[in-house]
C-alpha cells in the first residue's frame, strides 16, 4: 500500500496526482490534505480542487493550477468529459459480467451517509454507473469480486452505496455493511482520461492499487 502523494503529471495549468488513503482531497486546516501536500511536494500555490475523492478512497486526481484552468476543468467534469474509472473489491458477485446501475440517492449530511430512495424529493439526485466483473475468487467460504467501474455521475459515496444496496458492500466498508475486515475500503480511482483544456492533448493516467485484497486477484 502506498502512503505517499505522487505527482504523475504537471504543467503550468494543471497537475495529476495520486491521493493516498486518509488524506482529504480538499483543503483542511487541521488534517492532511492534498492542496497543502502538493504545495510542499510540487511547489504549487495555489492549488484548485475541481472534484472530490473520499478521504477513505485512494487514487488518481486532477487539480487546477490557475483560476482559468479550474473553470475549464470544472465545466468538463459537469459535462462528463473527464472519464473516471475505479477498481473495487466487493462481497459477492454482480448479476452478469457487466451492467449499469441507476438509483436515486439521498445524502444525509448529519449522518455522513448516502441512501438509495424510491422517490425524488429535495436533496435526492440520480446516480449512474457502469461495471465490469474482472474476476471472482473464494474468500473464507464467501465470494469476492474485482470490478472495474465507470462513474457516469459523481455523487457522495455513490459506488459504496449503490453496491451495498444490492447486498454487495465494498470489502472493508463497515459503514455500508461489509463483514470482511480490511485496513481500508477496497476502492481506488484507477484511471482518469480527458482532453487537456488548453492544448487539446489527450491525457490518460492510471494507478494500480496494491492493497491486500486487490493483490489476491490475478493480474
Closest by Cα among 159, 102, 147 to 128: 102
Q: Dihedral angle at the C-alpha atoms of 101, 146, 95, 131, nearest 10 degrees?
A: 30
What distance in Å separates the CA atoms of residue 85 and residue 80, rounded to the nearest whole number?
12
What is the structure's pLDDT at 2?
A: 65
- Is the pLDDT at 14 greater than 80? The verdict is yes
What value does the CA radius of gyration of the chain take, rounded to a whole number of Å?
A: 17
Active site residue 54: yes
The pLDDT tens digits for 15-58 are 999 999 999 999 988 999 999 999 988 888 899 999 999 998 99
The percent of residues in the chain predicted with pLDDT above 70, rounded, is: 99
Tell which residue, 137, 139, 140, 186, has the closest CA to residue 163: 186
- The answer, yes or no, to whether residue 1 has pLDDT greater than 60, is no
Q: Does pTM surpass 0.85?
A: yes
Catalytic residue among 28, 54, 68, 183: 54
DSSP bridge partners of 170: 90
Inter-residue contact 20 to 3 (CB < 8 Å): yes
Amino acid at each position: 500500500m502506498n502512503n505517499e502523494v505522487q505527482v504523475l503529471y504537471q504543467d503550468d495549468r494543471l497537475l495529476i496526482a495520486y491521493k493516498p488513503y486518509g488524506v482529504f482531497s480538499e483543503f483542511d486546516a487541521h488534517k492532511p490534505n492534498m492542496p497543502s501536500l502538493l504545495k510542499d511536494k510540487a511547489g504549487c500555490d495555489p492549488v484548485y480542487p475541481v472534484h472530490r475523492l473520499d478521504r477513505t478512497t485512494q487514487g488518481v486526481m486532477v487539480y487546477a493550477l490557475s483560476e482559468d484552468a479550474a473553470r475549464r476543468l470544472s465545466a468538463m467534469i459537469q459535462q462528463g468529459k473527464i472519464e473516471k474509472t475505479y477498481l473495487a473489491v466487493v462481497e459477492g458477485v454482480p448479476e452478469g459480467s457487466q451492467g449499469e446501475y441507476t438509483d436515486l440517492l439521498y445524502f444525509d449530511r448529519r449522518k455522513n451517509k448516502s441512501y438509495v430512495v424510491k422517490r425524488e424529493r429535495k436533496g435526492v439526485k440520480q446516480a449512474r454507473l457502469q461495471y465490469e466483473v474482472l474476476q471472482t475468487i473464494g474468500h473464507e467460504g464467501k465470494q469476492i469480486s474485482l470490478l472495474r467501474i465507470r462513474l457516469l455521475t459523481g455523487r457522495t459515496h455513490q459506488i459504496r452505496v449503490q453496491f451495498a444496496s444490492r447486498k454487495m458492500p465494498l470489502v472493508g466498508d463497515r459503514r455500508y455493511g461489509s463483514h470482511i475486515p480490511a485496513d481500508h475500503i477496497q476502492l481506488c480511482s484507477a484511471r482518469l482520461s480527458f482532453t487537456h483544456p488548453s492544448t487539446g492533448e489527450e491525457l490518460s493516467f492510471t494507478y494500480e492499487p496494491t492493497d491486500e485484497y486487490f493483490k489476491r486477484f490475478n493480474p
